[in-house]
Structure 1
Amino acid sequence: MAKPETPSLLAFERKLDCSDAVFSQTDGNNPEAQEQPVTVSEKSVRGTISNRLKNAIANDPAKLDAEIEKANLQTVDVAALSSGCDTLIARFTLKVLPFDGSPYVCNGAQYRGRLLETATQYLQTEGMQTLAERYAANIANGRWLWRNRMGAENIRITVSNKNDSVTVDNAKALPLDRFDRPSENVAKIAEWIRQGLSGEAFTLLSVEARVQAGYGQEVYPSQELILDTGKSNKSKVLYQTGGKAGMHSQKVGNAIRTIDTWYAQDAAFPIAAEPYGAVTTLGTAFRQPKQKNDFYTLFDNWILKGEQPSTEQQHYVISVLIRGGVFGASGKE
């Protein structure tokens, strides 16, 4: 029998399906305070020239003064709590879909059979516990709040599943750089996620964070990518949905799947599960093909050659499949 080859059509659906995170606000010191939306408004500012200048200008006092005199006019979007509110409320939902290794699209029957056999062996041997605990930790520690987490005095996160819920009273006390043994509350969230990934139960989590940021303080929704800059006179456009500031579902999802500490033995921090370990904010791919620890090398060796990676790298490969994506071979070099 001929050896299976990577099919030209191979794609997986994402199994962690996030909604956008929508922002509201309230006064945390007033139990009777009404919840209000966080809105996006425009602000026009006159900034200073602060970019790195060419040596010819920087070393000539007259030219430098002339450059500094130029106005750096900007129109930007801004989102902030009102003067009567000190607490940001962010909410999103997370649907957890079953994972059994089946691709969404695959045009190679023999390859599909080998893939399902490999995934079944992983599920029987390792199961979804390790990945579920890491996803749960990133929900409970508020990583998905991004910059909003940094400036908060305290964060309380509540996760609900059907008629049950758990609350993490001090999310900032949970670490971002490692995955400790989960507490009772985090373990319960992990069990809900494990049941969803294993297909034992339908899992739809509702997540709410109450972020004590300070009266009138700025908050940070997602920033829109303006592809056609000629149609916008703003240098920064913030995301809003239904009249409320919000965070893209992709940004929330990226934080939840920031579980990969297996890219190096001395990994200082986790990165998102990506085929090449890409972290755009650092401009670095932590999983290089030349090091043979990228997704495609590990995945192909596992499926096509039967070379089983270490347990940690198996977790990584499966987490990328849970992320979803198109992984077929083009046939063109």
Structure 2
Amino acid sequence: MSKSALKTASVLAFERNLDVSDAYLWQTNSQANIKSTDADKKLSRSPVTVKEKSVRGTISNRLKNPNKTDPAKLDAETEKANLQTVDSAALNEDNDTLIARFSLKVLPFTGKPNVCNDQNYQQALQQVVTDYVENQGLDELARRYAINILNARWLWRNRVGAEKISVTVKCNDQTISIDDAKSYGLKDFKASDAKVDQIADWIKAGLNDDAFIILYVEACAIIGYGQEVYPSQELILDTGSKKSKVLYRVSDRKGSEDNAGMHSQKVSNAIRTIDDWYTNAEFPIAIEPYGAVTTMGTAFRQPKDKMDFYSLFDNWVLKGETPDASQQHYVMGVLIRGGVFGASGKE
């Protein structure tokens, strides 16, 4: 079938190829572990738990007409109790180190959709992916994923307040360890050494279906005795909730449901924060079809600029217009991310 006769499948979906688990949060004392054996270190760990606390807040919202507000009225509002019940998580007073760990399964990336209702379109799509793998290869994507694992970007706010972070990555009977995750920057992907290369090779082997790959990743961040820890925060859909902040909990092997954790989506978002190929890029953003960054309320890949996933993807598959190498990496990164990409008839 000619390219001109092809149309985007109305039903088209890809499963994610980087399958990330939730991150479990633990704590320990770095000084106590200096002289400990490996067995002792495992025994000295304890979960980071989520606790409730009630606080009295103050009025801090922006006033509509601050210059016209009656001082007496504001004083009266200030006297009112603004009681809040919130979740919080922190290290114990005798622990200074946060331990976070998760697993990452790398699934084969063949370009075959999980669901597609047009076989001609599917053949054209798979040929595009095959050509990319043969001509460009998965080296660049794998290397960027590897750097984001080693730089502990996935710790998010916990990374910012850490004095020192070490990261360990295990695959089968091999282990890669680094003592200073912050030596790998967050603003670019220029880092290159044997450890980055090894982890990238593992990821590439999984994507190419050369081996079954599952990585076990652990970070130890020294943040200070008794310091606050930042698990994922739950989205509260029930507006009648008594809590103003609810933290994510994970169950441990003993059945405790108060242990703190991070959503797999949050960890995954950090690992795929590799897109610095958008126009006038100042920093990497997560691989997304429109380059959306919700915390900034901005979509960095606007359809009007023809730099969004759908514009690049459709021109590549339907018209044979191959984008430049960097945008090829981006498009394939979105497919590895997974999602529903069919052409709906609805506006």
Residue aligning to 2:254: none
Q: Distance in 2 between matches of 1:58 and 1:226?
A: 35
**2:247 aligned with 1:238, yes or no?**
yes
Residue aligning to 2:54: 44
User: 3-state DSSP class of the match of 1:75?
Assistant: strand
Residue aligning to 1:20: 22
* 1:259–1:272 Cα contact (<8 Å) kept: yes
Give the AA of the match of 2:345.
Answer: G
**2:156 aligned with 1:142, yes or no?**
no
Summarize the alignment of residues 1-333 of structure 1 with structure 2, pairs less than 5 Å apart: 1=1, 3-31=5-33, 32=36, 34-55=44-65, 59-230=69-240, 232-242=241-251, 243=257, 244-264=259-279, 266-333=280-347
Q: Distance in 1 between matches of 2:83 and 2:69?
A: 25
- Report deviation, 1:99: 0.3
**Number of residues of Structure 1 aligned to a counterpart in Structure 2:** 331
* 2:147–2:191 Cα contact (<8 Å) kept: no
Distance 1:58 1:131, change over 3 A: farther
* 1:58–1:64 Cα contact (<8 Å) kept: no
Give the AA of the match of 2:210.
Answer: E
Q: Distance in 2 between matches of 1:51 and 1:147?
A: 24
- Report deviation, 1:30: 0.4
* 2:11–2:116 Cα contact (<8 Å) kept: yes
Identity %: 63
Q: Distance in 1 between matches of 2:337 and 2:68?
A: 47
* 1:155–1:211 Cα contact (<8 Å) kept: yes
Give the AA of the match of 2:307.
Answer: N
- Report deviation, 1:58: 5.9
User: 3-state DSSP class of the match of 1:302?
Assistant: helix
- Report deviation, 1:233: 0.6
- Report deviation, 1:56: 5.9
Give the AA of the match of 1:316.
Answer: Y
User: 3-state DSSP class of the match of 1:29?
Assistant: helix
* 2:166–2:221 Cα contact (<8 Å) kept: yes
Report which stretch shifted further, 307-316 or 23-32: 23-32
Q: Distance in 2 between matches of 1:279 and 1:132?
A: 22
* 1:57–1:64 Cα contact (<8 Å) kept: no
User: 3-state DSSP class of the match of 1:188?
Assistant: helix
- Report deviation, 1:57: 7.5
- Report deviation, 1:4: 1.1
- Report deviation, 1:229: 2.2
Runs of 5+ unmatched residues, structure 1:
none
- Report deviation, 1:279: 0.1
* 1:223–1:236 Cα contact (<8 Å) kept: yes
* 1:82–1:215 Cα contact (<8 Å) kept: yes
Runs of 5+ unmatched residues, structure 2:
252-256
TM norm structure 2: 0.93
TM norm structure 1: 0.97
Q: Distance in 2 between matches of 1:88 and 1:58?
A: 48
User: 3-state DSSP class of the match of 1:113?
Assistant: helix
